[in-house]
Structure 1
């Protein structure tokens, strides 16, 4: 079900950046999920995929989300819910996002598995493509 693209409070460039950082973060392997038979000398530096408190990808994603104003954070939350199929429309998701009492949106978004997939799905349903913003960055 495609609907008319809304005016988002977040730029396409910023949205592209957040999706890329969320994708990088989603692809990481959580500590303890590493293959116990891994050998550091032949694992091709796979430890870089483990999540650590000082993980630069997490820090970059957190900073990008924290730097957004409240309206942009609410737009992202609504996009995630809409892309996940929690609502029938972006407009409905945006109303629900505005009514949320939990204002720790960056942490909630980071803690959502497949965040980048949900954001991309929502944008696809809205007819918005952010790939043009990343053409010079990929």
Structure 2
């Protein structure tokens, strides 16, 4: 059974496509396997939703800055879901642990979400696997 999320599966797929295009040029920001913390600027992101129609974009500007902008444009709930989808795809959580993954993503937030996610070397694979695990 598919779950209901604030973040659309089409938007996640668009992020996957853009992440694949830039992933080879992004540095691995984790040292010795230690993951960075992430943070949400809740004041800025609360109830913000500026990316209507992103999944339907026509142009193919696959720059890292564009991908960062797209991720940073997500509101707090959407950013939390994106991190949780990546963690589920990585195998840290399963579909039954979705609420726990959301809570953990919110608790561990101390750096920009885009910096955290783009630092995951297999981000596109994790997001795709997470979507599949959630039947999205």
TM-score range, shorter chain: 0.5 to 0.7
Whether 1:110 and 2:135 are equivalent positions in the alignment is no
> Structure 1: any 5+ residue segments left out of the alignment?
31-54, 129-138
CA positional deviation for 1:112: 0.8
Out of 55, 65, 87, the position equivalent to 1:59 is 65
| Mapped contact 2:13–2:128 kept (Cα < 8 A) | no
Whether 1:23 and 2:48 are equivalent positions in the alignment is no
Out of 123, 126, 132, the position equivalent to 2:134 is 126
Whether 1:101 and 2:98 are equivalent positions in the alignment is no
CA–CA distance in structure 2, aligned partners of residues 21 and 56 of structure 1? 5
Counterpart of 2:78? 72
1:59/1:111 CA distance change after superposition, 3 Å = same
Whether 1:11 and 2:8 are equivalent positions in the alignment is yes
Which structure has the larger Rg? 1
Counterpart of 1:42? none
Number of equivalences: 101
| TM-score with structure 2 setting the length | 0.65
> Structure 2: any 5+ residue segments left out of the alignment?
28-60
CA–CA distance in structure 2, aligned partners of residues 29 and 6 of structure 1? 31
The residue matched to 2:71 in structure 1 has which SS?
helix
| TM-score with structure 1 setting the length | 0.64
CA–CA distance in structure 2, aligned partners of residues 24 and 97 of structure 1? 25
The residue matched to 2:63 in structure 1 has which SS?
helix
- Tell me which stretches of 4 or more aligned residues in structure 1 moved more than 6 Å: none
